[in-house]
Amino acid sequence: MSEPQTVRVALLQINPTVGDLDGNARLIADAARAAWRQGARVALAPELALCGYPPEDLLLRPAFLRANASALEVLARELADCDGLHLVVGHPWGGAAVDHEVDVRSKSVSVPRVFNAASVLAGGLVAGTYCKRELPNYQVFDERRYFVSGRDAGLGPLVFEAGGLRFGVLICEDAWFDEPARLAQAAGADVLCVINASPFHLGKPADREAQMARRAQATGLPLLYSHLTGGQDEVVFDGGSFALDARGVVVARAALFESATLFVDVAAGRAPVPAAGSAVVPLPELESQAWSALVTGVRDYIVKNGFPSVIIGLSGGIDSALVLAIAVDALGPDRVRTVMMQSPYTADISWIDARDMAGRVGVRYDEIAIAPMFDAFRHALAGQFAGLAEDTTEENIQARVRGTLLMALSNKTGAIVLTTGNKSEMATGYCTLYGDMAGGFAVIKDVAKTLVYRLAEWKNRQPTRRADGSVGPVIPERIITRPPSAELRPDQTDQDSLPPYEVLDAILAAYMEEDMAIDDIVAAGFERTDVERVTRLIKVNEYKRRQSPVGIRITHRGFGRDWRYPITSRFRA
């Protein structure tokens, strides 16, 4: 009996940019051609790789859809000389570019029928197109706003042949349900090919593999999973493309948060085999995943949007120290600038530690005293405030002076301000509008305070080369161990008016991330006074969060596109 024919498949783990059709097509073509030269005859590019994910309301523009159709044709012709190559690529399909059917949604808006599609390109032509059947509409997903399901349109599976094997195409959410894979199998698929743009959150890589393992086991077919990497506004994509055998066992995995090509050899009746140096790259620990996600989010937001550099208000506290360490890892020290803005309440150890850390990572460090400006505000307002005691008003003035200074430097230099507020502060309103919330990108907006400490300690355990050539921790130990304080009044600490962060963050996770009711959180063992205080703060500070900068999402629910609560609401449970 002759040996079954082997087909080399390349999983193209790339980092496209939304709307850069020419650039994305070039990225896909270069990766596919390089894979073909290494023997690949099937290449899988990620979901909507041609236009970038998520394109959001660009999908409502007919010109965008026409441009995608043109780019797809150009990409097919570009690879026409790659004899025997079958490239599966994700793209939007439909609208005026394909037909003239429209879905009238109001008297003023007509939206063309559009599909989240994957096409097989071979021999310079589009050999077949598949339309996604399962459209996610939860968490950060909003696909039913834009797309029609292939099922609802009466469109069937897509199975194509290469090297004697039959490959069934699925798109992301399709593989989380039984029907699409069963239809591909019934159409003769020997291998399931899943192309994806699945946003990262903590724990998602393992969950994703477990679900795909169930799909492989249910069909008895090997499964190849090609995934996007990179950052797009508040979401990040972790890569980690992988191959499963028919038992659901991972036989190959690409690294997380890196552009890469994972090669797998497949043959009928046999488990996929890693090829060309591919292997099972281990999944890193949770803190490492979070760090890489934050670094990726900063790097791609700054680079893709063309900002020359970043500015950080460095306070000597843990939050700004963490943001600085992330920014340096993302951009390098030459593109990061720090400013310490001492107030009358700034402790000496704060500027000493800030100066120390800036020196360790080798970034520009400046100091601007805000006392004269603070005094000028108080003098100007003295008549208006006569007879009134000092309170948070004066604290907020200090924060707003700092925000004004940072934004002035940003305007003058073109650098973007990275804000330093964490998720616990965003939840409870312990942040100042037009003060420490002033800036262009909120790096740790979805990082709770307890995780801030874990990440700082994790970073300090990593062997890091410092500016002086030595290897050691980059965050001074005292920044991690001293009690956190906004330093806006004498002897102030965060815990003066908040529960311990271990308690606050647990309540936050239960209420905001898990949708638990107040009574259920109390029943879980928390003091009712703490629960009612924290949940009240979450509710009354919604108006602040609506005005905050976009920030990186690393949990399964962040204060961003997957948190849409009304500002005006009397619901209290």
Residues 504 and 381 in one domain: no
Residues 506 and 484 in one domain: no
Q: How far apart are CA 379 and CA 393, in angstroms?
A: 14
Output the pLDDT for position 2: 53
Residues 179 and 320 in one domain: no
Residues 161 and 178 in one domain: yes
Residues 272 and 295 in one domain: no
Q: How far apart are CA 244 and CA 248, in angstroms?
A: 5
Q: What SS3 string covers 162-201? A: ECCEEEEEEEHHHHHCHHHHHHHHHCCCCEEEEEECCECC
Q: How far apart are CA 315 and CA 340, in angstroms?
A: 6
Q: How far apart are CA 203 and CA 48, in angstroms?
A: 24
Q: What is the mean pLDDT of the chain?
A: 93
Does residue 110 lie within any of the structural domains? yes
Does residue 2 lie within any of the structural domains? no
Per-state percent for the chain, helix, strand, coil, to nearest 5: 40, 20, 40
- Of the candidates 244, 278, 312, which is a domain's last residue? 278
Does residue 178 lie within any of the structural domains? yes
- Return per-residue pLDDT of the chain as tens, 573 residues: 456 689 999 999 999 999 999 999 999 999 999 999 999 999 999 999 999 999 999 998 889 999 999 999 999 999 999 999 999 999 999 864 445 454 545 555 555 689 999 999 999 999 999 999 999 998 888 898 999 999 998 999 999 999 999 999 999 999 999 999 999 999 999 999 999 999 999 999 999 999 999 999 999 999 999 999 999 999 999 999 999 999 999 999 999 999 999 999 999 888 889 897 778 999 999 999 999 999 999 999 999 999 999 999 999 999 999 999 999 999 999 999 999 999 888 888 999 999 999 999 999 999 999 999 999 999 999 999 999 999 989 999 999 999 999 999 999 999 999 999 999 999 999 999 999 999 999 999 999 999 999 999 999 999 999 999 999 999 999 999 998 766 565 665 656 678 999 999 999 999 999 999 999 999 999 999 999 999 999 999 999 999 999 999 999 999 999 898 998 988 888
- Of the candidates 474, 493, 512, which is a domain's last residue? 493
Q: Please, are residues 254 and 241 in contact by the beta-carbon 8 Å criterion?
A: yes
As beta bridge partners, residue 121 has 87, 126
Report the 10 Å Cβ neighbour count for 97. 19
Catalytic residue annotation: 47, 132, 172
Residues 322 and 336 in one domain: yes
Q: Please, are residues 217 and 185 in contact by the beta-carbon 8 Å criterion?
A: no
Does residue 285 lie within any of the structural domains? no
Give the Å distances, CA to CA, from 449 to 294, 431, 505, 543, 558: 15, 13, 7, 21, 14
User: Tokens 């099922």 map to which residue?
Assistant: 151
Is the four-CA dihedral 437, 441, 447, 452 of positive or negative sign?
negative
- What would the pLDDT profile of 428-437 be if each residue is shown by its tens digit? 999 999 999 9
Does residue 54 lie within any of the structural domains? yes
Residues 371 and 248 in one domain: no
Residues 163 and 52 in one domain: yes
Six-digit token string for 469: 């050539």
Six-digit token string for 547: 């005005």
The amino acid at 379: H
Does residue 571 lie within any of the structural domains? no
Q: Please, are residues 223 and 216 in contact by the beta-carbon 8 Å criterion?
A: yes
Residues 413 and 527 in one domain: no
Residues 106 and 183 in one domain: yes
How far the first Cα of the chain sits from its last, in Å, is: 69
Does residue 86 lie within any of the structural domains? yes
CATH of the domain at 297: 3.40.50.620
Output the pLDDT for position 109: 59
Residues 508 and 488 in one domain: no
Output the pLDDT for position 278: 77
Output the pLDDT for position 102: 47
Six-digit token string for 538: 């979450």
Residues 204 and 218 in one domain: yes
Give the Å distances, CA to CA, from 168 to 29, 91, 190, 273, 538: 22, 17, 7, 19, 46
Q: Structurally, how many domains does the chain consist of? A: 3
| Residue 147 lies in domain | 7-278
Output the pLDDT for position 104: 47
Output the pLDDT for position 573: 82
Does residue 567 lie within any of the structural domains? no
